[in-house]
Structure 1
Amino acid sequence: MTDVVTSLKSVQFVVDAKVKRTGALLSIAVWEALLDGIENQQDAAIIQQAIAKLKAAGERREKAGWLVWEGVKDDWDKD
């Protein structure tokens, strides 16, 4: 996330006649870093939820709703 914050410091602002900020201009690299940061946060939240569910299920993967890789890998490869 630090990379995202650092990257955002290069944002250029669009201002109106009263010098009020009305928009922001990002480079593609900054935009992609921002999206990556958001996706990483979302992934971390999903992982935390999955781990909490696993612990609540007494560390039993099937009871937590986890799938066995061998049972889904063929479907996964199709995507």
Structure 2
Amino acid sequence: MTGLELLQSVQFVTVKGKRLAVLNAEDWEALIEWLETLEDVQIAEKAFAELKTAGGDRTAAGWLKWDDVEKELE
């Protein structure tokens, strides 16, 4: 299900004068997953744009070497 389809599944209710959006739990979880994927795509696009600006030089673009990062994760 796409983000747009999820948003179309929202039902609106008014409680004590406040308009609320209601989703079932499965749609809520799918919406969160969709938003996280969108965020990941934006991060990747930014990283590749920085790499292009750095002329393909990963170090100049601020990319880390896996061996260095792996040591920090241990």
TM-score, normalising length: structure 2: 0.80
1:7 corresponds to which residue?
6
Once the two structures are TM-superposed, the CA of residue 37 in structure 1 deviates from its matched residue by 1.5
1:44 corresponds to which residue?
41
What value does the CA root-mean-square deviation take over the aligned residues? Answer: 2.2
Give the counterpart of 2:70 among 65, 69, 73: 73
Deviations 1:44-72 (A, max 9, x none): 11111110111111101111110000111
Unaligned runs of 5+ in 1: none
Pair 1:63 & 2:67 matched:
no
Unaligned runs of 5+ in 2: none
- Distance in 1, matches of 2:69 and 2:15, equals 54
Deviations 1:6-30 (A, max 9, x none): 233332221369xx88111111111
Pair 1:23 & 2:20 matched:
yes
TM-score, normalising length: structure 1: 0.76
Instruction: Count residues with an aligned counterpart.
Output: 74
- Distance in 2, matches of 1:8 and 1:35, equals 12
